[in-house]
Amino acid sequence: MVLSAPTTETAEGVSGPRHVAIIMDGNGRWAERRLISRSMGHKRGAEAVKAAIEGAVETGVDFLTLYAFSSENWNRPVEEVKDLMGLLKNYLNKEVETLHKQGIRLRVIGDRTKLASDIRSRIEWAEKMTENNSRLTLIIALSYGSRDEMVEAVRTIAESVAAGRERLADITESRINNALYTHDIPDPDLIIRTSGEQRLSNFLLWQAAYSEFLFLDVLWPDFSRQHFIDAVDIYLDRDRRFGARP
């Protein structure tokens, strides 16, 4: 994968999105339409990750978050979960060094306690290896659920208040934000969902307060670098007022 130089502004000088998040949906349907196994759909979907990274680098995005495995996905059939974890291990084993050479930082957000110990160790290794890279931060939401994230944040703050380290008056929007997995990551400017579905599915609920949304009919395995670039162009055409009058 060859990454071109980033483009941070349009010809008119309008800045593009700093953070793009993607709900990668449609692997199963892509496979079903081709009468092949769901595991093959997931494998092809993993290849589309490269296209998204290429698009992010080309358009000058600083942060790219991919919803890889939700907290609800643990309820899927055992064999499907096993296949997904296998793809994750394969990605960590084969792609991280390539990301590192390209100057890409890898982060993982979510509940790691449910992951196998070897996967947790590999994630820690990958994060450590790439922590000083700055070309793009690739964030993988893994075993992630936004409601669980907010509950954990509230629990952490409540324990601090109960211990006398903080006061109720200290609980502000900023304090809650600082207790989330994404406390040091800017909120997403643009959230893309593939497959035509139009819902967040427990993804970045707090962080999406002022995000722009784009729902694409393309299934995730067919997502291309050009789809990403086109999505950024659509974002640039929108008028973001953040609640202010036009």
Instruction: Say what the pTM is.
Output: 0.90
H/E stretch holding 190: strand 190-193
Give per-residue pLDDT as tens, 85-127. 999 998 998 999 999 999 999 999 999 999 999 999 999 999 9
What are the catalytic residues?
25, 73
Backbone phi, psi, residue 187, to 5° = -60, 150
Adjacent-strand bridge partners of 190: 20, 212
Query: Residues in the chain with pLDDT < 70?
Result: 1-14, 241-246
Architecture of domain 19-234: 3-Layer(aba) Sandwich (3.40)
| Binding residue positions for substrate | 26-30, 38, 42, 70-72, 74, 76, 193, 199-201
Domain boundaries, the chain: 19-234
Give per-residue pLDDT as tens, 113-124. 999 999 999 999
Distance, in Å, from the CA atom of 206 to the CA atom of 222, rounded to the nearest integer, reads 29
Residue 173 has a CB neighbour count (10 Å cut-off) of: 9
Distance, in Å, from the CA atom of 104 to the CA atom of 97, rounded to the nearest integer, reads 10
Distance, in Å, from the CA atom of 135 to the CA atom of 92, rounded to the nearest integer, reads 19
pLDDT of residue 3: 44
Side-chain-side CA neighbours of residue 18 (13 Å): 4
| Binding residue positions for Mg(2+) | 25, 212
Give per-residue pLDDT as tens, 184-200. 999 999 999 999 999 99
Distance, in Å, from the CA atom of 118 to the CA atom of 88, rounded to the nearest integer, reads 11
pLDDT of residue 143: 96
pLDDT of residue 15: 80
